[in-house]
Amino acid sequence: MLQDTQTIRCYQKLTDALVELWNRGYQFDDLRLYLDGYLAALRHSNTLEPYLIHRLEEEVTRYIYDPSSFEQPESKRDYY
C-alpha cells in the first residue's frame, strides 16, 4: 500500500493515463511501454526515492494485470 503523498499522486496520474490509453484503443504492450517510460523518467529526475519508485511499479503492475481495471461501467458501454 502506498503511503507517501507524492507517490500516491504519481499512482493516480499514471493509472488515469493508462485507462485513457486503453479507452483510445492501445493494447497491453503499449500500456507496459508507457509505464516503463514513466518509471524511467521518475528514476532519471530523482523525484522519488528509489524504494518508492519500486513500490509504485509493483502497485501499477498489479493494477494493469487486474482485468476489472479496464472495464467500463454499464452506463458507458451502451454509448460506445
In the predicted model, is pLDDT for residue 67 greater than 70? yes
> Does residue 48 sit in helix, strand or coil?
coil
- The answer on pLDDT for 8 being more than 80 is yes
Q: Supply the pTM of this predicted model.
A: 0.84
- What is the tens place of the pLDDT at every residue in 43-66? 999 889 999 999 999 999 999 999
Q: Parse the chain into domains and list their residue ranges.
A: 9-70
In the block, which residue shows the cell 509505464?
35
Q: Alpha-carbon distance 17 to 78, whole Å?
A: 23
Rounded to whole angstroms, how far apart are CA atoms 72 and 44?
A: 34
Q: Which is higher by pLDDT, 47 or 12?
A: 12
Other beta carbons less than 10 A from residue 25's beta carbon: 7
CB 73 within 8 A of CB 32: no
Q: What pLDDT is recorded for position 27?
A: 92
* Per-residue pLDDT, 76: 57
